[in-house]
Structure 1
Amino acid sequence: MTTAYDTRWQRYTPGQRLLRFALYLLFVLAIVQSLRSIDVIPEFLYDAPTQMADLLNRMWPVSWASFPGAIQKALIETLHMATLGTILAVIMAVPVGLAAATNLTRNKAVNFLARLILVSSRSINSLVWALLFIAVFGPGPLAGTMAIAFRSIGFVGKLLGEAIEEAHPGPIEALTATGAGTGSIIGYGYWPQIRPAFWSIVLLRWDINVRESAVLGLVGAGGIGMALNSAMDLFQWDKVALILVLIFTIVIVAEVVITRARKTLL
């Protein structure tokens, strides 16, 4: 007497299928709830293509003659903000990153405090940092530079700390056995191993800061964003088009510079 067995292969178990169904259901419910909470006016939605076409028509031709003067100065100011903000961030983030690395700093309280600083920096958006520093220093590029610096501490410090923790322990153990001090261990044990990661982190953050500094001016923190906000308030759409082209251009140029610098330094 033979017994028939069900040999059909199933990718998921019944429990996994139930869990997947529950996740899909939650996803759909979240979308439905989001659509219900967003106040969409159908008349404006239907009219959007016409308004977009009218806006593009007002932007053309681009006002290239407006570049010399205030817009040129604002563009240079944006690059200065990104560069100086990145330098300040690296100066402040390196000690925090060293303190956050558990294999370098053995004190758990110091590790916790350093990680708290890194999380606090990353959790606050650059626009919020800009508003805080505008309240302290007033509108202008100084507030934007400080906002970029404090926003970048978390990014640079976290990645630097992780790079230190992933360093090979062999050279560090050899230096420790010879009685080398902490400075020598960092300089000769950790630095040769983390140098490529360090320069990659710095260059990547500068690239990000160039993009962010172009937006901070919308809240009064200097840079080309202030020129963009002013042109939009005055309905000078040909200047708005010029500024958008300039922002796109500096982002592309920054990407090229970063690529070349990585090849040179790494």
Structure 2
Amino acid sequence: MNRVWERYSLSQRLVRFGFYFLFVAAVVQSIRSVEVIPEFLLDAPEQMADLFSRMWPVDWAHYSGSVHDALIETIHIATLGTIISVLLAVPIGLLAANNLTPNRLINTLARLILVSSRSVNSLVWALLFIAIFGPGPLAGTMAIAFRSIGFVGKLVGESVEEAQRGSIEALTSVGASTGALIQYGYWPQIKPAFWSIVLLRWDINVRESAVLGLVGAGGIGMALDTALNLFQWDRVAVILISIFVIVILAEILITRIRQKIL
């Protein structure tokens, strides 16, 4: 009897069919629940062309006024928020590392803090801090900081857990303290990863800070929200181009810094 080779067994084919069926069903259900209006889709190209015609020509005279100051404020929010997040996240990340902090209860609490930080969107954090501090850049800075704690702390903790044990065991054998272990054993190994994490998070925070103003948390987003509400489309064009340029410049800056220090 000749045996016929098959790529997938019967059970594997059934599992694949079930996965594809669930995927298609989820897509169909999502489309039905979104309630897309076909008339709006057909009219979208015309509306978009009309919107761009209102934005052109770009009136650069608006930049020297409120746009420039708001853009600088956005960079300050991202930078200060990143610094605060690093100061708070590094200790929590060290507590979350199993090899450095063997206490299971402390590990669990630290990981819970990191997960809680990542699970809340920056806009939600902004709304929370606006309720506490009122509208303005302080709320935006704290939102960026608390949103970034989970990202920075998780990656720092994982870098510590992946550190080679050779130098750590050598320091432990001579009775080195925890501080000495971190400074001379872990830090030289995680230093490249640490700076990559900080630079990447700052780059992300510059982008996120640009939209926090839409809920009143300061920065260029507040200028954009005001221009949209007043239908000042030429000013909207200046703001959007400014955001695009600052994001590109931040990406170039991060790349250059990484090449210098890593």
TM-score, with length taken from structure 2: 0.99
Aligned pair count reads 262
Residue-by-residue CA offset, 1:5-46 (whole Å, 9 max, x unaligned): 13x321111110111001111111111111111122222221
Q: Say if 2:10 is the partner of 1:5.
A: no
- The whole-number CA distance in structure 1 between the counterparts of 2:175 and 2:206 is 44
- For structure 1, the residue ranges without an aligned partner over 5 or more in a row are none
Q: Say if 2:187 is the partner of 1:191.
A: yes
- The whole-number CA distance in structure 2 between the counterparts of 1:41 and 1:11 is 43
Q: Say if 2:223 is the partner of 1:224.
A: no
| Other-structure match for 1:16 | 12
- The whole-number CA distance in structure 1 between the counterparts of 2:47 and 2:100 is 58
- The whole-number CA distance in structure 2 between the counterparts of 1:50 and 1:69 is 32
**Percent of aligned pairs with the same residue?**
72
**Paired amino acid for 2:138:** L
| Other-structure match for 1:141 | 137
Please list, as runs of the form range in 1=range in 2, the aligned pairs for 1:149-164 lying within 5 A after superposition.
149-164=145-160
**Displacement over 2 Å in runs of 4+:** none
TM-score, with length taken from structure 1: 0.97
Selected match of 1:82 from 78, 83, 107: 78
Selected match of 2:97 from 83, 94, 101: 101
| Other-structure match for 2:197 | 201
| Other-structure match for 1:236 | 232
Selected match of 1:111 from 101, 107, 110: 107
- The whole-number CA distance in structure 1 between the counterparts of 2:52 and 2:65 is 25
- The whole-number CA distance in structure 1 between the counterparts of 2:23 and 2:92 is 39
| Other-structure match for 2:249 | 253
- The whole-number CA distance in structure 1 between the counterparts of 2:177 and 2:110 is 22
| Other-structure match for 1:33 | 29
Deviates further, 38-47 or 149-158: 38-47
SS in 2 for 1:40: coil
Following superposition, the deviation at residue 224 of structure 1 comes to 0.1
- The whole-number CA distance in structure 1 between the counterparts of 2:91 and 2:69 is 34
Following superposition, the deviation at residue 265 of structure 1 comes to 1.1
Selected match of 2:128 from 126, 129, 132: 132
Structure showing greater radius of gyration is 1
- For structure 2, the residue ranges without an aligned partner over 5 or more in a row are none
CA RMSD of aligned residues (A): 0.7
Please list, as runs of the form range in 1=range in 2, the aligned pairs for 1:64-75 lying within 5 A after superposition.
64-75=60-71
Following superposition, the deviation at residue 69 of structure 1 comes to 1.7
Following superposition, the deviation at residue 137 of structure 1 comes to 0.3
Residue-by-residue CA offset, 1:128-183 (whole Å, 9 max, x unaligned): 00000000000000000000000000000000000000000110110011111111
**Paired amino acid for 2:204:** I
